[in-house]
Each structure stands twice: as C-alpha cells, then as structure tokens.
C-alpha cells in the first residue's frame, strides 16, 4: 500500500465525500481516479449531454452514450458504478449557479473543479470560503494546465491570485483553441491527488500555483500569497450575491450553442411540454431531456427548466426562443 495513504488513510478515503462540479474532460478523469481510489461518496454535477466530439478527451464516455443521448452526469454515474460498486455515486443533471451551488456543495469534504468556464469558478470560490470547504481549482486548454488548492482561511483564494474576471467571450474555449486529452488527464490526476491528500490529512497539500504544458513538457510551481483586501477572503461573496433571474451563456463543449436558465424555475414536466408544443419538428424526449427543432435551431429542454439552444450564438435570440417555446 502506498506509504502516503496506508490503511488508516484508505479508511479515511472511504469515509470521504466530494463533489465534482462539471463532468467534461477534467471531471471524467477526476471521478474515474477517485472512484478507483475508494472515496466513499462522490457527487457529480453537470449540465450537458454527450456528443461525439467529446470522446477525444472525456474518458468515461463512449459511442453508446452518444447514441443513447445521455446527460454526462448520468452516463458518468452508470460507468463509475461498474468500476467500484462500493462507492456511492450521485449524478445530478443541472446548471450550477448562485441559486443551487450551496446545496450541491453541502456535506462534502472537498469541492473539485471540472468546469469549462471562469464565472462558475469564482462562484465556487465564494462558496468554499463561506462554507470552509477546500476547493481544488484546475483548468486546461490547448496543451496547458493550471491548478491551485484553496484551503479557506489558510491559503490564498482564487480571487487573491486572479482578482479580475475577464469579460465574457474574451477567453479561449476548448472549442476555439482545442485541448489535448493528455492535458486534461494530467490536470485531472493532479486535482484527484490533491483531494486524496486533503481527505487523508496529508502535510503535502499544494500551496502554489502549478502550471504545466504537456506538449513542450514543462511543469512549474509558483508561490502565491494572499491579496490584501481580497473581498472574498474578507467575507464579501460578490459572485454568490449576483442574483439574476435569467442566465444566458455560450457553452464551451458545444460548437454553437447558448444555454438559457431561469433561476426561479421549479422545473418542467417534459411530457406536458411535449404535448403542448406545436409547429416544431423532430421532437423526441425521455426522462432526461426533450429535443425539437424550430426556427433553424435545435432546442434541448431539461427537467430542471433550462434549455440549450443550438445553432446560434445570439443570446438574445436564444432567450426569445426559450420564452416562446419552453417557458410559455
């Protein structure tokens, strides 16, 4: 048995509870490794469904998942249960935002980052500091990766290091610049290792900003320090407090798609919606999503009340379609 864990550590892993926010490439690798490591309870939250172009890097999924049109959180749960039946796995299909993130993070020992956008990371940072739950940030794009571990009250937080969030659409996405599956695998492995160290109470928890490039083979760590006057560290949770009714966002993993979320929605009965839709084509639905085509777009509606509008990047047009056909 590995000396850093030992029998006592393995027992602690078995008692550990983690949440993985996002189950794309990072999330798949993190979940796979933590299930195999025997972490007791793993909650996986993701808003998306699986497409063929995800398979290059999202290592839990296969072609059958695409054919079956499964949400990532559900497909991940099914595959992970076959890997280690001793682990309790909870797959949740949802968009993570201010209205639900505290619920998703409640009762866990560690929050792991499998996200594809910065906005939600600032939100997690707020929740981590407010709740005292450690947060492991990780990101990857192209051949690059970056990670830091946030221990509330001890280490600098994400906002200490990156105080200003770049404006929407200014940052590259996996869609615009691509990402090597080996980069996301390497970063997922680092995040999973940090989670294990936190769960077993190791003294070797990362205190630095780690950067990596798998193509030119560089791996570096840079010391980071708390920012004087950091709002989040001072108890001002700006991102958690940004309450808006409608959230519109372009999706990283989708070639041209906008997600529209009504944060006040209590959910939608897909069968009822299917029954009242008129003037749409190619409609199909199951317990996870309802799909139809209209006005040159494909619309996917989820039971939590949100929709993904494909074949557009126009957020206003997407919101209009949402209110015309989904939230009528």
Partner 1 sequence: MASVTVKFNGIWRLYVGVGKAALDADVIDEALKLIEKEYAPKFEEKLRDRGVKLDGGILKHSYVTLNRKSIKELKERSLKDGDVLDLFIAIPGG
174 is catalytic: yes
String of contacts with partner 1 for each residue 162-201, x by CB under 8 A: x-x-xx-xxxxxx-xx-x----x--x--------------
CB of 157 to partner 1, least distance (A): 12
Question: Rule CB under 8 A: is residue 319 a binding residue for partner 1?
Answer: no
**Toward partner 1, which CB reaches closer, 146 or 280?**
146
Q: What is the 3-state secondary structure (H, E, C) of 190-232?
A: HHHHHHHHHHHCCCCCCCEEEEEECCCCEEEEEECCCCCCCCC
CB of 212 to partner 1, least distance (A): 9
For residues 65 and 62, what is the distance between their CA atoms, to the nearest angstrom? 5
For 279-318, the DSSP string reads: S-EEEEE-SS-EEEEETTEEEEE-TTS-EEEES---HHHH
Which of 45, 161, 214, 250 contacts partner 1 by CB under 8 A? 161
Tokens of 161: 């290091």
Active-site position among 23, 105, 174, 252: 174
CB of 139 to partner 1, least distance (A): 3
- Residues near 180 by beta carbon (within 8 Å), at least 6 away in sequence: 57, 142, 143, 214, 215
Which of 35, 89, 140, 232 contacts partner 1 by CB under 8 A? 140
For residues 301 and 309, what is the distance between their CA atoms, to the nearest angstrom? 9
Question: Rule CB under 8 A: is residue 305 a binding residue for partner 1?
Answer: no
Question: Rule CB under 8 A: is residue 138 a binding residue for partner 1?
Answer: yes
C-alpha dist (Å) from residue 40 to 6, 18, 51, 117, 226: 16, 8, 29, 28, 32
Which range touches partner 1 (CB under 8 A), out of 77-85, 134-142, 236-244, 263-271?
134-142
Interacting residues with partner 1 (CB under 8 A): 22, 24-27, 113-118, 121, 138-142, 144-146, 158, 161-162, 164, 166-167, 169-174, 176-177, 179, 184, 187, 209, 211, 213, 222-225, 227, 252
For the annotated catalytic residues, the residue numbers are 174
């Amino acid at each position: 048995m590995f000396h850093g864990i030992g029998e006592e550590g393995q027992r602690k892993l078995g008692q550990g509870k983690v949440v993985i926010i996002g189950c794309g490439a990072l999330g798949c690798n993190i979940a796979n490794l933590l299930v195999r490591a025997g972490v007791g309870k793993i909650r996986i939250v993701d808003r998306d469904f699986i497409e063929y172009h995800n398979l290059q890097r999202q290592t839990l999924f296969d072609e059958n998942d695409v054919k079956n049109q499964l949400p990532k959180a559900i497909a991940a749960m099914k595959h992970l249960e076959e890997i280690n039946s001793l682990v309790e796995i909870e797959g949740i299909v949802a968009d993570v935002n201010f209205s639900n993130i505290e619920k998703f993070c409640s009762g866990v020992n560690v929050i792991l980052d499998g996200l594809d956008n910065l906005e939600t990371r600032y939100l997690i940072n707020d929740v981590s500091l407010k709740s005292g739950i450690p947060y492991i940030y990780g990101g990857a794009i192209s051949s690059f990766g970056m990670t830091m571990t946030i221990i509330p009250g001890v280490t600098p937080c994400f906002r200490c290091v990156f105080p200003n969030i770049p404006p929407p659409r200014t940052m590259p996405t996996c869609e615009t610049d691509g990402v090597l599956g080996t980069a996301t695998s390497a970063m997922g492995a680092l995040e999973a290792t940090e989670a294990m160290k936190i769960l077993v109470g190791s003294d070797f928890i990362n205190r630095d900003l780690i950067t990596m490039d798998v193509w030119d083979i560089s791996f570096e760590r840079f010391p980071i320090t708390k920012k004087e006057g950091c709002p989040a560290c001072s108890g001002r949770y700006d991102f958690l407090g940004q309450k808006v009714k409608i959230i519109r966002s372009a999706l990283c993993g989708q070639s041209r798609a906008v997600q529209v979320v009504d944060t006040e929605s209590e959910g939608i009965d897909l069968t009822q919606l299917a029954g009242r839709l008129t003037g749409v084509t190619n409609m199909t639905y199951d317990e996870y999503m309802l799909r139809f085509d209209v006005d040159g777009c494909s619309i996917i509606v989820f039971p939590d009340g949100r929709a993904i509008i494909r074949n557009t990047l126009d957020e206003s047009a997407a919101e209009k379609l949402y209110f015309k056909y989904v939230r009528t």
